[in-house]
Amino acid sequence: MPKQDAAPKWQDLALGCATLEPGSSKYQKTGDWRSSRPVWNFDQCVKCGVCTVFCPEGCLSIDAKGYPQVDLDYCKGCAICVTECWTGCISMEEEKD
């Protein structure tokens, strides 16, 4: 999927190293900065959606059943969702790989 060349030659860079394609940050899979990931206990989740509102990266959404789901391509593991969840149903799990 990455449209941008990850290793361009200097001759191929745009003037002033500008990014010419709007919305191209989606190609940068910043999720690989993460050292631990949020995990939900859906038995305890009340589908309030607070976690999706507070996620600073906008990578939490609501699935068909109304539960939050995380896009791990962009989740950096900041754990703000854990802090904000008032039911305490989210925990952080260390990344193994």
Contact set with other proteins (CB under 8 A): 6-11, 13-20, 22, 24
Kindly tell me which of 57 and 84 has the beta carbon lying closer to other proteins: 57
> For other proteins, which is the closer residue by CB, 16 or 56?
16
Tokens 């589908």 belong to: 47
Residues linked to residue 36 through DSSP beta bridges, in sequence order = 94
Output the smallest distance, CB 17 to other proteins, in A: 5
Which pair of tokens denotes residue 3?
């449209």
Q: Please state the closest distance from residue 6 (CB atom) to other proteins, in A.
A: 6
Please give the backbone phi and psi of residue 26, each rounded to the nearest 5 degrees, phi first: -65, -20
As measured in angstroms, the least distance from the Cβ of 33 to other proteins is 11
